[in-house]
A and B are shown apart, each in its own frame.
Chain A
Amino acid sequence: MSSDVSTPAVIIKAEGVTKRFGSVVAVNRVDYELREYEVAGILGSNGAGKTSFFNLLTGYFIPDEGRILYQGQDVTRMTPQERVALGMMRTFQLTSTFDNLSVIDNLVLAFFRAHRKSSLWQLLTNTCKQHRKDEKILATLASFDLERVANREVSHLGLGEKRRMEIAMAILAEPKVLLLDEPLAGLAESEIKGVLDVLQRQVGRQTILIVEHKISHLEHFLQKLIVMHEGRIIAEGGYECLQSPEVRKSYWQIDEAAA
């Protein structure tokens, strides 16, 4: 029992995963382990392969080589739907929401799939209205500071609100692993704080994996990180690994040039 606490079980494992696009090797034989309740990050400059690797984990792409295990089960060729059913939930770099629905109905859709069997019969015999007053949804609205805009169509929201809502949708589904693709991209300082506050509350409840381009805002948040460059992991560990010469060369240099 005590050993369980000290070293939590591996929840996601990648073994020699490779993905090519034409002649470009986007992800090159990557081995990776993510343990339960970890808050981990994948860093790297643009084109380093971090989003491709992330897409392999979530089922958006199928790897050309290697295996992906989820709780010991081979999920390499599973569809995104099947992975969701197992407890993996992702967000998208360019916020992906249902802009033609209200905020609350977006949450209802996320909630409903996670808590009911979404057979067509269930979809037909339940109305959105029945679930709009659900305690969990109302609590989520409140904790994500979305109450004010609950009935507004998502197309009228600002980017910060949309991003918060997308994370709210992911969390409402109560996944075991929360996979966030650049959750801070394009946000203003004040909005970043809002998103981080929200994420902070999930620490210890879910395993969290974040892909980020910029590390500055996540410094006190991530417990473990990997740095990718040209499709490979070049450093792994705590923040000290950012100081290694290889990382300085590949990551910081490009970042400085961009800034």
Chain B
Amino acid sequence: MLKIFKWWWGIALAFGLLGIARMFLPLPFMNEVVIFSIYALACNFLIGRVGYISFGQPAYLALGGYATAFYLVHFGTNPYVGILIGVFGGLLASLIIGPLFVRLRSDYFAMVNLALAVIVFYLMQKVLVSITQGDNGLWFLTRIDSTPILDLTRPGHFFIFALIVGLAVWAFYKYLDDSIFGACCLATKLNENKLQFLGYNNFSIRLLAFVIANTTTALAGALYAVYLGFVSPEMASPSRAADPVIVTLLGGVGTLFGPIVGAIAYTGMKDVIAKLIGNWELFIGFLLVFIMLVADRGIWGTLSPALEKLISRKKNSARGERDD
């Protein structure tokens, strides 16, 4: 019982803080943070667990987003069904793309995914104009149903929904980390040879990791689509390809809180700096170089040892009192 509490306290605290922050910070910002956290969690899993750096995550984000959009424009009006369709689209796409891509190792994997982002971007912008409306994007905000209980057309309700989904995704990745599969992912990252000689199948382990991560990315895309009520090729833009990687590194690779911390810090910096001075991208570039050089373990990776020390000291002192 206590052990379950041990790791739940952290996530409950993190999401509790997000809930409280909601009172002080604008909703659009909070929604962005939650969706970005989901996006970054998937990227973090790929980099930290499987050793795959991908510069093509916008492709999967857009595939999820457009799948949701097509449904909401042409077939139905229920946003929940739309999100499910987006997730399913991502699942299908990664099942098709995965077997081709996971044969490659990290640097080529990064490149081939970037290429995929370019392909998806041009498909949406130029090639499939008749379906996607090109740069104008697809607009369907007014078509989305107002559902009972949690009405996703209202930003406040959407925030609660996104928070619940985010919590579920986080708990899922937490579980993955503890599973034998998670250990296999770390093993294949470092020593695929040995894993093979223990009798495991590297390919299927990587494929599953790929499918899980990119289906999660598609979920983030579907959430964006429903939240914004429109999608445009900008979603798949290769120029945004480094975003999730940067957020992951900023927060701290391989830590479960890293992506959330990274998403908050990145979105926050973007907003604050954009308000103060115009060219936020340039400034963030410099800031990121600085952070990478000074704190290469990311914000959470640097802070958490200090936090752990603080907590263990408290525990020790509590234990000491009990002994008396």
- Chain B binds chain A: yes
A residues adjacent to B (C-beta < 8 A): 58, 79-81, 84-85, 89-90, 92, 96-101, 105, 108-110, 112-114, 118, 120, 122-129, 131, 169, 173
Assuming the A-B contacts A98-B191, A128-B180, are A123 and B205 also in contact, with contact meaning beta carbons closer than 8 angstroms in the complex? Answer: yes
Q: Is the CB of A98 within 8 A of B199?
A: no
Q: Is the CB of B191 within 8 A of A96?
A: yes
Q: Assess whether B187 is interfacial by the CB under 8 Å rule.
A: yes
Q: List 24 A-B contacts (CB under 8 A).
A: A58-B197, A84-B197, A92-B193, A92-B194, A96-B194, A99-B190, A100-B186, A100-B190, A101-B186, A108-B180, A108-B183, A109-B195, A114-B199, A118-B199, A120-B204, A120-B205, A122-B180, A124-B176, A124-B179, A125-B179, A126-B180, A128-B179, A128-B182, A129-B178
CB closest chain-A residue, reference B197: A80
Interface SS of B by simple majority: helix
Which residues from chain B contact A99 at a C-beta distance below 8 Å?
Answer: 190-191
Q: Is the CB of A123 within 8 A of B179?
A: yes
Q: Which one of A84, A109, A122, A169 has the highest number of Cβ atoms from chain B below 10 Å of its Cβ?
A: A109
Assuming the A-B contacts A98-B190, A120-B204, A120-B208, are A128 and B198 also in contact, with contact meaning beta carbons closer than 8 angstroms in the complex? Answer: no
Q: How many residues of B contact A (CB 8 A)?
A: 26
Which residues from chain B contact A92 at a C-beta distance below 8 Å?
Answer: 193-194, 197
B residues adjacent to A (C-beta < 8 A): 175-176, 178-184, 186-187, 189-191, 193-201, 204-205, 208
CB closest chain-A residue, reference B194: A96
Which residues from chain B contact A114 at a C-beta distance below 8 Å?
Answer: 199
Which residues from chain A contact B186 at a C-beta distance below 8 Å?
Answer: 98, 100-101
Q: Is the CB of A118 within 8 A of B183?
A: no
The answer, among A79, A89, A109, for a CB contact under 8 Å with B183, is: A109
Which residues from chain A contact B201 at a C-beta distance below 8 Å?
Answer: 81, 118
Q: 5 smallest A-B Cβ distances: which pairs?
A: A84-B199, A123-B181, A96-B194, A98-B187, A113-B199
